[in-house]
Each structure stands twice: as C-alpha cells, then as structure tokens.
Structure 1
Amino acid sequence: MAKSLLLISRQAPWSGPGAREALDIVLAGGAFDLPIGLLFLDDGVLQLAAGQKARALQQKDLSANLQALPMFGVEELFVCAASAAERGLDASALALDEVQALDAGQIRELIDHYDQVMTL
C-alpha cells in the first residue's frame, strides 16, 4: 500500500514557483492514486482567495489547478483558519468549497495522520 502524503503549501501564489510546484506535486500524486492531502498554511492561504488578477502581475492563474484537484482524486483539502483570518480571508468565501478550515490542534492531528509530510 502506498504511503500517504500531506503537502503543506506555504507560498503566496505570486511569490515564486513554490505554489505552482505544490499544486503540480499534489495533482501528480492524485493522478497515481496516492493517498494525498493538501494544507494551505501561512501565505499559502492566499492561493485560495477568490477573484485574483494573476495577469496584472504577469503570473499564471492557479485557479484552474485548484479547481482540478477533486477531478484528480485530491479531496483532502485543508486551510489553517488562523492564517486565513490573519490575511483577511473568510474561510466560507474561499475559491474552493471543499476546503476544511482547521485550528492549530487539528493541524497537529492532521500531520500525525499522514506517513510523510512535505512543505513548499
């Protein structure tokens, strides 16, 4: 049986390649039926902000990748509630409906649940 992987995405969508690389890893894992979860933490929660204007920053829009996650079997999607609140994001108004907001204790439990954890 494949080991489960939790990927923690901590990069803002426009701060460099980290956000895109995290999504690419998760999509690839999902395509191969790897038990995989994705946690948006710190500035990574900004990837979930609705209505981003990536072209204004001459960046590629990540929203299509985010919307594809469930189609690739990636259904374990989490967001740090505190990180979202600190950045003025209401967890109920994020670009993905399927994301579950977690507090610090729940995040510790989540990390313990997975065999491997990777942070980008």
Structure 2
Amino acid sequence: MSQTLCIISTQAPYRGQFAKEALDAALVSATYDIPTSLLLMGDGVYQILDGQSPEQLGRKNLSSMFQSLELYGIETVYVDGESLEERNLDPEQLLPLYTLLEGDAVASFLAQHDKVLSF
C-alpha cells in the first residue's frame, strides 16, 4: 500500500515561489502514483481566489495549474474555513474546485495522511 501525502500550502500565490513549489510538489508526487492531497491554509487560500491578474506583476496565473490537478489524480483542493474567515473571504469568491474543511475537520483530514509537507 502506498503512503499518502498531504501538501499544505500557506503562502499567497505571487509572494515568492512557495505557492508554485507546493503545486509542483503535489503534481510530482501524484505523477508517481502517490495518493496526494492539497490543503490551502493561511494566505494560501488566496491561491484559488477567482479573477486574479498576476500578469500585471509579470507572473503566470496559477489557476491553470489548479485546474490541471485532476488530470494527475488530485480530484479536489481542500481549503481551511478558518483561514477564509480570518481574511473575510466568502467561499463564493473562490474558483469552484475545492472542498471546505471547517473546525476539527482539518485535524481529522491531516490525520488521514502518512506524510505532511508544508510550504
């Protein structure tokens, strides 16, 4: 049986390389048939905010990478509800490709994985 992996992405999408590196790590592990989950927490929830225009910053929009996750076997992106609340974000402002985890669900979700990497 394969070890399960959860990648936690906690950084805003265009502040440094951590957000892209977390996505890259998820794609690579899934490519090697490692059951992989992606959890957005903290400022990481901004990564799937709809209507981003990073081209003005000279950066590539990460939303296309999120939309390709399913091709690699990562069927959903998990989002920490508390992080959304802390940032006054409404779930309707996000791209429709996530599952919201609220309260103790985050700890339960993480406990289901053998390995956890945080970016």
- TM-score category, normalised to shorter length: over 0.9
Q: Is residue 10 of structure 2 the alignment partner of residue 7 of structure 1?
A: no
Deviations 1:76-115 (A, max 9, x none): 42001111122232223411x2311111300000111100
Matches within 5 A, 1:31-110: 31-95=31-95, 97-110=96-109
Query: Percent of aligned pairs with the same residue?
Result: 35
Partner SS, residue 19 of structure 1: helix
Q: Which amino acid aligns with 1:70?
A: E
TM-score (norm 2): 0.93
Out of 39-48 and 56-65, give the one that drifted further: 56-65
Q: Which amino acid aligns with 2:32?
A: F
Partner SS, residue 69 of structure 1: helix
Partner SS, residue 83 of structure 1: helix
Deviations 1:4-49 (A, max 9, x none): 0000000100110000000001111122221110000000000010
List gaps (5 residues or longer) in structure 1: none
Give the aligned length. Answer: 119
RMSD: 1.2
Q: CA–CA distance in 2 between the matches of 1:55 and 1:76?
A: 26
Q: CA–CA distance in 1 between the matches of 2:84 and 2:3?
A: 29
| 1:36–1:76 CA contact under 8 A, matched in 2 | no
TM-score (norm 1): 0.93
Deviations 1:28-71 (A, max 9, x none): 11222211100000000000100101011121210110100111
List gaps (5 residues or longer) in structure 2: none
